[in-house]
């Protein structure tokens, strides 16, 4: 069974190795696998992985197996619309002014990937639960995720308590937008 850790709680002597393993998971599960150049590959990495490590390290979680190898990660952002997180969203064309406004009740978001061969074992659900706990503790009213409209990830998110959300007519029908609102305490 996997155990999840926030990146800052991982022993510094293991951190570089585990980030490298999470990076391997990132590229193994990415929808894009061919890059025109190393510069394009690095930009892709930075947009979907590196910015979270750099700007939101307290919301970056790694799931470890019994041998302390990375089997999944969640790269989260507690307040997607804060100035601190602007570099994360600015690289994503679908985060238009109207899109951001429609998501004000769901300011947190994340990207998640589980190592091929380990998917379907509850690792993703553990990572999402860990991030939800952090969001609730921070007072976030809700979380949104964006994926492909027909991606199998939609079922995973619905299993985690998300519902489909259709706030804008101009949003691409290729995008699946799902939200989860936290109960007020």
- Are 75 and 60 spatial neighbours (Cβ–Cβ below 8 Å)? yes
Running DSSP on this structure, what letter comes out for residue 48?
A: I
Joined together, the tokens standing for residue 34 give 């061919």
> E strand or H helix at 43, and its extent?
helix 38-45
pLDDT greater than 70 at residue 1: no
Q: How confident is the model at residue 170 (pLDDT cuts 50, 70, 90)?
A: low
DSSP 8: G
**Structure confidence at residue 143 (pLDDT):** 98
Instruction: Give the Cα separation of 47 and 52 in Å (integer).
Output: 8
Is the pLDDT at 185 greater than 60, yes or no? no
- Judge whether residue 19 has pLDDT over 90: yes
Q: How far is CA 160 from CA 36, 44, 90, 178, in A?
A: 36, 27, 27, 11
Burial of 107 (0-12, 13-18, 19+ CB in 10 A): buried
pLDDT tens digits for 111-163? 999 999 999 999 999 999 999 999 999 999 999 999 988 888 999 999 999 99
Comparing 13 with 2, which gets the higher pLDDT?
13
pTM score of the predicted model: 0.93
Q: What average pLDDT does the segment 79-89 reach?
A: 92
Q: State pLDDT tens for residues 26-72.
A: 999 998 888 999 999 999 999 999 999 999 999 999 999 999 999 99
């Amino acid at each position: 069974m996997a155990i999840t850790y926030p990146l800052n709680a991982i022993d510094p002597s293991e951190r570089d190795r585990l980030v490298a393993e999470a990076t391997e998971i990132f590229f193994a599960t990415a929808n894009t696998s061919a890059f025109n150049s190393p510069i394009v590959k690095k930009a892709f990495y930075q947009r979907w992985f590196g910015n979270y490590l750099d700007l939101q390290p307290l919301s970056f979680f790694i799931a470890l197996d019994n041998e302390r190898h990375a089997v999944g990660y969640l790269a989260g952002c507690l307040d997607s619309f804060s100035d601190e997180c602007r570099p994360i969203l600015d690289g994503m064309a679908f985060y238009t002014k109207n899109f951001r406004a429609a998501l004000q009740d769901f300011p947190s978001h994340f990207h998640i990937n589980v190592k091929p061969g380990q998917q379907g074992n509850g690792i993703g659900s553990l990572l999402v639960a860990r991030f939800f706990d952090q969001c609730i503790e921070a007072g976030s009213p809700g979380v949104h995720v964006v994926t492909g409209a027909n991606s199998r990830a939609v079922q995973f998110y619905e299993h985690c308590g998300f519902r489909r959300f259709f706030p804008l007519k101009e949003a691409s029908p290729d995008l699946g937008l799902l939200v989860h609102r936290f109960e007020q305490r």
